[in-house]
Structure 1
Amino acid sequence: MAQSIEMCLPKDQLKKRLTCLVCKDIFKDPYQLPCPTLNKYTANPFLHVSDDLLTVRRLKNPQYYPPHPLRFTEDPQVLSTQCASHGRHYWELEAEGSWDIAVTYETITTTLSAFGTDAQSWSLRHDSKGRLFAYHTGERQRIHKSLTHNTIGVVVDFYEGEIIFKEMGTTYNHLHTFEVDLNQPVCLGLGLFRPDLNTTISVKKNYSG
């Protein structure tokens, strides 16, 4: 029987070999790892990052963050601290409201770039009307599907050259695949819009194999 852990492992635990619904199709030997934490130094002032660095919430008014060269100054975005540089990876998130979930090179210019508007990032956007779009190099592609769950799975496959977004529930629903040639480490990127929709994203799972 497949096992599924709902929350991330504490950082002080060793990685644990597990199986999960989506991992069966991706990994031969999946391992669950501690979740990638969010990098407060990159967080835009309109974002509040939780104390455990796993949840981010959109604010109506900006809060004070000290200046930092990595900080997003134009767009309400944040990056993960940990990046992936090889192999296959699966991240699972819970997202509410109007949001952007992206895979991005860690070298992205945080002062200017919105996810998906350049060649350094690939994003899935859920707008305030519930519509889904895929973005890369500024090109927008409408995804003619609607979400019935708030859980999104992200697969990064350096071997096959793919970034895959899935909706996760009792089964999973493929949303979009980017064909990519990844030549640098990539991070998880989160964008949050519309504070009136209680826009929030939490990182829940992290598998590798």
Structure 2
Amino acid sequence: MAMSSSLARLCRLTSRSASTALGYSRGKPLISRRWYISSSVRNNLQFKLDEQTAHSSLDLFKKDTGVIYRILGLDPTLVQDSPLRFREWAVVLADAQIDSGRHYWEVTVQNSSEFRVGVADVQTSRDECVGTNSTSWVFAYTQRKWFAMTSGKQVPVPFVGKSDQIGLLLDYEAGQLSLVDTQKSEVVHTIKTQFRSPISPAFALWDGELLTHSGLEIPPGL
């Protein structure tokens, strides 16, 4: 399916072609490895957002668990230069790396019509948007519709639940990332892939604000 005009506007496809429909390949590392908080030893994953990765249009708040989009962006003199920072797109990663286990977290979104939530390789390109390459796997919300995205491919997700509060269930070994309806505690859609290196929760936002809720137990039945 071709990418919608709105999605194309937000995240242009790179010149490199995608080799799979839903992300079974992995690109080469593009930046040097950094230290993250290792949180994979137990299922109740705890994380904050990593300011060093945040695009200059994103402002972290509530002890770095939330992010708000600023149309004019932050004052460049107040943003520390970092090779880990996303340069082209309004993306931020969490400060935890995941290399095993099953984990669950939730996201509350306010006043936003376009955003993405999911995971990305900790070394994913800082010049590309999450969902456009083979090292990121996300659920995108735009034009009141949901899509599963990776490698620039999108799959419609028939989700009629509340778009402002959703859950993410990750099974690293099984290579599965699921969108969860928090009202019904049910899996809505699952992206299947093969994780080959440590990944981190990833978020993209083009209006409004987003608040993360980590350290949660996996709901019964999921």
Q: Provide the C-alpha distance between the structure 1 equivalents of 2:62 and 2:216, rounded to a whole number of angstroms.
A: 23
CA contact (8 A) 2:43 2:103 kept: no
Deviation of 1:150 after TM superposition, in Å, equals 2.0
CA contact (8 A) 1:95 1:201 kept: yes
- 1:125 corresponds to: 140
Indicate the larger mover: 112-121 or 150-159: 150-159
Deviation of 1:93 after TM superposition, in Å, equals 1.4
* Distance change in 2, residues 1:105/1:172 (3 Å): same
Q: What secondary structure is seen at the aligned counterpart in 2 of 1:41?
A: helix
Match of 1:205 among 208, 211, 214: 214
Match of 2:94 among 80, 91, 94: 80
* Distance change in 2, residues 1:60/1:184 (3 Å): same
- 2:73 corresponds to: 62
- 2:36 corresponds to: none
Deviation of 1:31 after TM superposition, in Å, equals 5.3
CA-atom RMSD in angstroms: 2.0
TM-score, normalising length: structure 1: 0.76
Number of residue pairs matched by the alignment = 173
Deviation of 1:77 after TM superposition, in Å, equals 0.6
CA contact (8 A) 1:116 1:135 kept: yes
- 2:25 corresponds to: none
TM-score, normalising length: structure 2: 0.72
* Distance change in 2, residues 1:31/1:189 (3 Å): closer
Match of 2:193 among 180, 189, 201: 180
Query: What is the CA deviation profile of residues 80-108 of structure 1, one whole-angstrom value per residue up to 9, with x for unaligned ones?
Result: 01111111111111123121102111010
- 1:106 corresponds to: 122
- 1:136 corresponds to: 150
Letter of the 1:43 partner, please give it: A
CA contact (8 A) 1:132 1:142 kept: yes
CA contact (8 A) 2:137 2:150 kept: yes
Q: Which runs of 5+ in 1 are unaligned?
A: 1-14, 16-29
Deviation of 1:192 after TM superposition, in Å, equals 0.3
Query: What is the CA deviation profile of residues 44-76 of structure 1, one whole-angstrom value per residue up to 9, with x for unaligned ones?
Result: 111110150100011111112122101111000
- 1:7 corresponds to: none
Indicate the larger mover: 138-147 or 71-80: 138-147
* Distance change in 2, residues 1:114/1:173 (3 Å): same
Query: What is the CA deviation profile of residues 89-131 of structure 1, one whole-angstrom value per residue up to 9, with x for unaligned ones?
Result: 1111112312110211101011x1111111101010111x211
- 2:181 corresponds to: 167
- 1:38 corresponds to: 49
Query: What is the CA deviation profile of residues 127-158 of structure 1, one whole-angstrom value per residue up to 9, with x for unaligned ones?
Result: 1x211111111101111323325221111112
Deviation of 1:176 after TM superposition, in Å, equals 1.7
CA contact (8 A) 1:88 1:208 kept: no
Deviation of 1:208 after TM superposition, in Å, equals 6.5
Letter of the 1:161 partner, please give it: G
Higher strand share: 1
Letter of the 1:187 partner, please give it: S
